[in-house]
Structure 1
Amino acid sequence: MALKPSEFILNKDGSIYHLNLLPEQLASTIITVGDPDRVNHVTKHFDTIEHRVHKREFHTQTGTYKGKRMSVISTGIGTDNIDIVLNELDALVNIDFKTRKVKEKLTSLDIIRIGTSGSVQSDLPIDSFLVSETAVGFDSLLHFYKSENIQDKVFSEALKDHLEFSKDNGTPYVVNASSALLSHFNDSSYFKGTTVTNCGFYGPQGRVLRLPLSNPSLNDRMASFEYSGKRITNFEMETAGIYGLSQLLGHRALSLNAIIANRGTGEFSKNTTKTVEKLIANALDRIAGI
């Protein structure tokens, strides 16, 4: 059955609605970054660049690094944008743009996030790198999809009980990284952890400027949580959405985090640009070998 124009939306030039991309402009290995300006920080290392496309906050460049074709895409901040980006990336490879039908043979993408994050644990140092083995979504995105089969419900319930989560906050969802991609980052260069994806930067992450919090002890409770040897290590705003939608759509996903803040000690990196640049260079070499 052909997808309706209101569901599968194309621009006048035939490109996908938000990303403004044509299928041939996308590589099967994709690096996502939150900040549109960070796309250039990644692709300045490329040997060649064949496409530059942008619309709104979604900037894409496709080229090669050490002979491997890759696309770098900015998502903006938050899992609301991840819902757009992941669905449209999948459409670019798995929907026929002429017939508007899902292809019989599906393509699996490698999607690697390179981003910044704040540590929940005092012993996770500033300017270190962390790879997210597991992600916990506080944003509810995955609950809008049939996703029970990929969620760790026991982990979620244990966390909810420990945090004394209000029913008004919803139910966290727990999903895992691609084990195949994770194996390429399995050494002492990267801490491994469980990443909480928040629906905001201030109150949801326990920051107080002028507004009081409904659960002032939430961060302390997260820092003290442990389940099957896992603890909550860091906060950011996209990983759980990437992991969840990637698994549902049959793609492999991994999130790499530059730790630029430590919420336990109150520290913030003195040179975030240098830390992110080091993570980009390290990640590119590893991704080129996948």
Structure 2
Amino acid sequence: MIAASELILNPDRSVYHLNLKPENIAHDIIFVGDPDRVEKITQLFDLIEFSTQKREFKTQTGIYKGKRLTVISTGIGADNIDIVLNELDALVNINLETRKIKEKLTSLNIVRIGTSGSLQVGIPVDSFVMSKIGLGLDNMLRSYQTDYITIPDLENAFIKHTNWDSDKGRPYAVACSEKLEKHFENPIIFKGITATAGGFYGPQGRILRLVIQDNNLNKKMDSFSYVENNITNLEMETAAIYGLSALLGHHAISLNAIIANRTNGTFSSAPNLAIEKLIDYTLNKIRIL
């Protein structure tokens, strides 16, 4: 039996951070970072049957063209992904009354809709990127036993190519769900490696007042390639989503609207339009999943 200190429940028996009960979620789930983006998606639903928010975690479940879907805001960063994915898994794979793991486990389909900056000149603003592989620079997943889901050859190649400082911890690489990759791929969508940083400023090479450990890291990442996959973009959640999903037996894919190009210094003149187009694409694909 899982102790009360390990799986914390609210007085109404909902999971602690997400404030959700098993019946509140669908098995097809969209992740967004910003709580305000939840309603940008659910405003397109035919109806909303459930809504709640606790801190940065906002959830709405409803029906889109006959398909029951849940949209959840994760907030920013891999630490929040650790909370969201573990609590979602508990909702479907742990009996909250007996605190025992169920004999028959359920796999969720998780699709992240995000925004990101491209690291490649050939991936322009307003385009879409599918993360074929998540490359975690954040260390969160290293708290778990990960050897059977990671790609050590890629990790070693990246460490060598960038002369990675071991004091920052070993990067981890995890592939997306093959099932969801095949379902969501499209010739107009770029595919590659998404690097997941542990922060927005220094960890992504931004310099304000602080000196960073390696101010050439982004240029090194620009030129890195593994089995014809370049690092397409840099953000803060994808590798953690892929890692925990793989460990827990869920399917995950991350789709990003590219609103900036870090290499040539451009920013989209209509970022909201790019996001809206990605939302429409994702909803129309997920409803036939």
Question: Structure 2 length normalisation: TM-score?
Answer: 0.99
**2:209 is aligned with 1:180:** no
Aligned counterparts of 1:3 and 1:117: Cα–Cα separation in 2: 38
Question: Which 5+ residue runs of structure 2 have no aligned equivalent?
Answer: none
Aligned counterparts of 2:209 and 2:2: Cα–Cα separation in 1: 47
Q: Considering only aligned residues, what root-mean-square deviation do their CA atoms show, in Å? A: 0.7
Over 4 Å off, 4+ runs = none
**2:58 is aligned with 1:74:** no
Aligned counterparts of 2:188 and 2:99: Cα–Cα separation in 1: 44
C-alpha displacement of 1:54: 0.7
Aligned counterparts of 1:141 and 1:199: Cα–Cα separation in 2: 9
Question: Structure 1 length normalisation: TM-score?
Answer: 0.98
Q: Counterpart of 1:46?
A: 45
Q: How do residues 204-219 of structure 1 correspond to structure 2 at under 5 angstroms?
A: 204-219=203-218
Q: Counterpart of 1:28?
A: 27
Q: Counterpart of 1:55?
A: 54
- Once the two structures are superposed, residues 226-275 of structure 1 have per-residue CA deviations (whole angstroms, 9 ceiling, x without a partner) of 12111111001000000000000000000000001101000111221111
Aligned counterparts of 1:230 and 1:271: Cα–Cα separation in 2: 28
Q: How do residues 8-19 of structure 1 correspond to structure 2 at under 5 angstroms?
A: 8-19=7-18
Q: Counterpart of 2:108?
A: 109
C-alpha displacement of 1:160: 0.6
- Once the two structures are superposed, residues 21-54 of structure 1 have per-residue CA deviations (whole angstroms, 9 ceiling, x without a partner) of 0110010000000000000001011111100011
C-alpha displacement of 1:9: 0.6
- Once the two structures are superposed, residues 198-243 of structure 1 have per-residue CA deviations (whole angstroms, 9 ceiling, x without a partner) of 0011111111122222111101110011121111110010000000
Aligned counterparts of 2:278 and 2:134: Cα–Cα separation in 1: 20
Question: Which 5+ residue runs of structure 1 have no aligned equivalent?
Answer: none
Aligned counterparts of 1:101 and 1:227: Cα–Cα separation in 2: 41
Q: Which amino acid aligns with 1:34?
A: G
Q: Which amino acid aligns with 1:156?
A: E
Aligned counterparts of 1:187 and 1:139: Cα–Cα separation in 2: 29
Q: Counterpart of 2:132?
A: 133
Q: Counterpart of 1:245?
A: 244
Q: Counterpart of 1:145?
A: 144
Q: How do residues 113-124 of structure 1 correspond to structure 2 at under 5 angstroms?
A: 113-124=112-123
- Identity, in percent, stands at 56
